[in-house]
Structure 1
Amino acid sequence: MAQAPVNVARLAAVDAAGAAHLLSEVRSGTLAGRRTRVAPRPVIGQSWERMLRSGVEPEHDFRSGLLPHDEVERRRETSALRHVLPVLREGLLSVADAARHIVVVADEDGRVLWREGHASVLRKADGLGFELGADWREDVVGTNGIGTPAVVRRPVQVFASEHFVRSHTTWTCTGAPVTDPRDGRLIGVVDASGPLESMHPTTLAWVDSVARLAEAGPRETHPASLERLRAVAAPVLARLRGPAAVVDRDGWTAAVTGMPYTARISLPASCTPGRRRLPAVGLCSLEPLAGGWLLRAGGEAAPHGDARIVLDLSRPRRWSVAVSGGAGTWARELSPRHAELLCLLAVHRAGRSAAGLAVEVFGDPSRTVTVRAEMSRVRRYLGPLLEHRPYRFREDAEVQVLFPADPRDLLPHSAAPSVRRGRPAPTTVP
């Protein structure tokens, strides 16, 4: 007779200690290859099989290195999760604190970016390595409430010894994936976790409903974002000869001229400026616009020799870059890190190598991997206006920097050595 999987939620609602004891037997027996009284739930059993194949050690608490603070901040600033974070907080935090849970939000790579909730539970989580910047992918730390939902793309509750790694078996974790409703892409996982005794059978439905509510935001705001892009595109398309289209960063079409309308145009996974052959368009040139791309059918790119770039650092935490010429006029707000990098390149027009920028931004020439990753993101919207080897603005581009009236307000968040040298030393009052 085939083993029947245990109904964890029903059993734990009546006898949490008994459920934990039974699951401990199931875990020990299954991992030892023995037949047990009941089978693990399919989602758990399949996860354990993946762990055994990938070499995760059930008795070894492995932890990869935490991301440095600046990388956590960079991921927060660029993650699509930042737009749905208020919904997640409102829907989860008050209940989580009362239930002695913590709420954890991880990005699509399984890295913990936000973590809030009951103070004593946060301290216990520290002991498990459940910290900001930690890597909780399933193939790193085993079956868990962040990594497993990311793999199976549905909500999962991992109760006690359903965790693959023994050190996690005193916890209950309930996670749900958060996807971009426009393309189904995973953007992160939200998780409510707590000690074993805090488990409740309704937690799974609660976490899932909040995740679905968070996904509704991008779905509702997408038409408005396309309308803004359409306004940017109108004067650009009016000056062009020949077929062209303007799409957002996910390929959704905002406007076309001289070619049939297609709701969405498939873009390369790593979209960069230049000549491409796209299934719906054929040979075309991709040129960055604020919030999207200009696709010029035929592959003939617009000239950039008359480009003017204005880097506005004059307003606290509202830094931007504006470009005119070439593909028209557009502007984009900058993250703190991109504001630092473009400021350096605007001041040093001869350019800087990756190691040089690493010294000027981090004071550490070994941080070239981080610099190259950031400059790759910058080049996605500045395109051919920014060259590399070394990184620099094009020689024929006019670059203007608008500095704050008070030099002490120059990128006040920045700890970059070169930026700090550009500010006046603080005055000591006797």
Structure 2
Amino acid sequence: MQLEAALPVGADPRRHARVLAKVHEAALAGNALPSHPRAVIGASWQRMRRLGLDPDRGAPVPTLVPEQLEARRRGSGLAAVLPALRGGLISLAEQAAHIMAVVDADGRVLWRDGSTAVRRRADALGFVEGVDWHENSAGTNAIGTALVTRHPVQVYSAEHYVRNQHDWTCAAAPLHDPRDGRLLGVVDLSGPASTVHPTTLALVDAVAKLAEAHLRTTHLSELERLRGLASPLLTKVKGRAVIADPHGWIAASAGLVPVGRIALPNGATAGRNWLPAYGNCLLEPLPGGWLVRLTEEEDTPPTRVVLDLRSARDSTLRASGPAGTWSHRLSPRHAEMLYVLALHREGRSASELSRDLFGDAGRTVTVRAEMSRMRRHFGGILLGRPYRFADDVEVVVERPADGGDVLPHSVAPAVRD
């Protein structure tokens, strides 16, 4: 994905800020726009207008008290990458009159470092540790908009929806957990509008990727430790079985063709479970994972599937049938694909899905790879040739109250249409 800087190459920052201010005021007044904002900004402004957000004050939410802030920090999953983020950005933030903020997936500012003078200005703005800086509270801004779109975003001057942020520029990139693709939060560099620079976004994105790489290395080490436990244990197990970590990544298997990952239910519990990849199974807890034993019972695939898209943050697939109920958090791409298939029960070819997702019928290799991955995860629910939900499965889509908020991070033509 190509990163789009807020300031066009060669543009004069002050002149560009004046143009943006005229566009912003025209948009709020409902008048004809003298020019159009960038697509990511225009889409965010539309969300703010649908929300009825006050462009002068936003929607202030009480700041976390110290005890709540510490609890958020511990549960965020971001403390492990804080040294990498600070090492990559703090020196630049201090030299370039910026501050670095690390924000959780709900938009709460957990840590803030950098220029002392800019921190004082941020205090006056209300941009402090514990504050809610999601779009729903603070309007269009790099932090909140990156949380919604799941992409790196730079916002400059009057691109901010709330007027008291027009003196600022910010660039933020999302941070994902490589174990399950879950959005952990964002890292952001913010400073006075006069300090805007087109390369800031690329730098923030690069540091975010380094932090994710650190998490990936840590996960591989954890999986290797589990593998050391698994190998002697599997020699004593009769029948087919796998040992997986809590996120479904396979450490070892017996009697089965090895796969990289299986879809475990959210909040998996010991005992009998139905897994899309294997059917009826028994789950037994292990230190750092699960022993999954395949039973010889007849497979009882689900008869009803619910695609829950009501949350802008997480999408979930819930399946129910004679064997019980199973639910799994979806990646943004898989949520898009399942939504399209739910809209087209007759099925879609690889070229049609490519056009639905990318606006280009030629990206069939990518589509086939993702569909192969999904069918391994959700076997018994999805069929091929054409790609579709199984004919005897009832499919229900749960949407947010405002239809425009379905998968707000998605730019897929079929979703936006």
The TM-score by the shorter chain falls in which range? 0.5 to 0.7
Aligned pair in 2 of structure 1 residues 136, 240: CA closer, same or farther (>3 Å)? same
Deviation at 1:171, TM superposition (A): 1.0
Equivalent of 1:157 in 131, 151, 154: 154
Equivalent of 2:254 in 251, 254, 257: 257
Q: Which residue of 1 aligns with 2:19?
A: 22
DSSP-derived class of the 2:290 partner: strand
2:223 counterpart of 1:217? no
Q: Which residue of 1 aligns with 2:229?
A: 232
Aligned pair in 2 of structure 1 residues 229, 41: CA closer, same or farther (>3 Å)? same
DSSP-derived class of the 1:216 partner: helix
RCO greater where, 1 or 2, for CA within 8 Å and sep 6 or more? 2
Q: Which residue of 2 aligns with 1:406?
A: none
Deviation at 1:14, TM superposition (A): 4.8
- For residues 142 and 240 of structure 2, the distance between their equivalents in structure 1, rounded to whole angstroms, comes to 48
The answer on whether the counterparts of 2:134 and 2:144 sit within 8 Å (CA) in structure 1 is yes
- For residues 164 and 273 of structure 1, the distance between their equivalents in structure 2, rounded to whole angstroms, comes to 48
Q: Which residue of 1 aligns with 2:115?
A: 118
Q: Which residue of 1 aligns with 2:376?
A: none
2:101 counterpart of 1:104? yes
The answer on whether the counterparts of 2:170 and 2:189 sit within 8 Å (CA) in structure 1 is yes
Q: How does 1:53-64 map to 2 (within 5 A)?
A: 53-64=50-61
Deviation at 1:25, TM superposition (A): 0.7
What amino acid maps onto 1:86 in structure 2? P
Q: How does 1:174-189 map to 2 (within 5 A)?
A: 174-189=171-186
DSSP-derived class of the 2:78 partner: helix
The answer on whether the counterparts of 1:61 and 1:167 sit within 8 Å (CA) in structure 2 is no
Moved more, 237-246 or 82-91: 237-246
2:4 counterpart of 1:43? no
Deviation at 1:110, TM superposition (A): 1.6
DSSP-derived class of the 2:8 partner: helix
Deviation at 1:182, TM superposition (A): 4.3
What amino acid maps onto 1:231 in structure 2? G
Q: Which residue of 1 aligns with 2:8?
A: 10
- For residues 156 and 166 of structure 1, the distance between their equivalents in structure 2, rounded to whole angstroms, comes to 19
DSSP-derived class of the 2:170 partner: strand
Deviation at 1:122, TM superposition (A): 1.4
Aligned pair in 2 of structure 1 residues 139, 62: CA closer, same or farther (>3 Å)? closer
Q: How does 1:172-321 map to 2 (within 5 A)?
A: 172-298=169-295
2:61 counterpart of 1:71? no
Q: Which residue of 1 aligns with 2:126?
A: 129
Q: Which residue of 1 aligns with 2:29?
A: 32
The answer on whether the counterparts of 2:5 and 2:201 sit within 8 Å (CA) in structure 1 is no
The answer on whether the counterparts of 1:144 and 1:158 sit within 8 Å (CA) in structure 2 is yes
What amino acid maps onto 1:196 in structure 2? A
Structure 1: state its 5+ residue gaps: 1-5, 301-430
Aligned pair in 2 of structure 1 residues 297, 65: CA closer, same or farther (>3 Å)? farther
What amino acid maps onto 1:158 in structure 2? V
Aligned pair in 2 of structure 1 residues 84, 275: CA closer, same or farther (>3 Å)? same
- For residues 168 and 79 of structure 2, the distance between their equivalents in structure 1, rounded to whole angstroms, comes to 27
The answer on whether the counterparts of 1:142 and 1:164 sit within 8 Å (CA) in structure 2 is yes
Tell me the number of residue pairs that the alignment of Structure 1 and Structure 2 aligns. Answer: 294
DSSP-derived class of the 2:151 partner: coil
- For residues 140 and 285 of structure 1, the distance between their equivalents in structure 2, rounded to whole angstroms, comes to 44
- For residues 296 and 55 of structure 2, the distance between their equivalents in structure 1, rounded to whole angstroms, comes to 54
Moved more, 225-234 or 67-76: 67-76
DSSP-derived class of the 1:192 partner: strand
Deviations 1:310-329 (A, max 9, x none): xxxxxxxxxxxxxxxxxxxx
Deviation at 1:126, TM superposition (A): 2.0
Deviations 1:359-398 (A, max 9, x none): xxxxxxxxxxxxxxxxxxxxxxxxxxxxxxxxxxxxxxxx
What amino acid maps onto 1:79 in structure 2? S
Deviation at 1:166, TM superposition (A): 1.3
Equivalent of 1:92 in 85, 89, 92: 89
Aligned pair in 2 of structure 1 residues 275, 67: CA closer, same or farther (>3 Å)? farther
Aligned pair in 2 of structure 1 residues 7, 77: CA closer, same or farther (>3 Å)? closer
DSSP-derived class of the 1:105 partner: strand
The answer on whether the counterparts of 2:58 and 2:137 sit within 8 Å (CA) in structure 1 is no
TM-score normalized by the length of structure 1: 0.64
Deviation at 1:7, TM superposition (A): 8.2
- For residues 234 and 299 of structure 1, the distance between their equivalents in structure 2, rounded to whole angstroms, comes to 23
What amino acid maps onto 1:9 in structure 2? L
Q: Which residue of 2 aligns with 1:420?
A: none
- For residues 18 and 7 of structure 1, the distance between their equivalents in structure 2, rounded to whole angstroms, comes to 16
User: What RMSD, in angstroms, separates the aligned Cα atoms of the two structures?
Assistant: 2.3
Runs of 4+ with >4 A deviation: none
What amino acid maps onto 1:266 in structure 2? A
Deviations 1:138-167 (A, max 9, x none): 122211111101111211111011111112
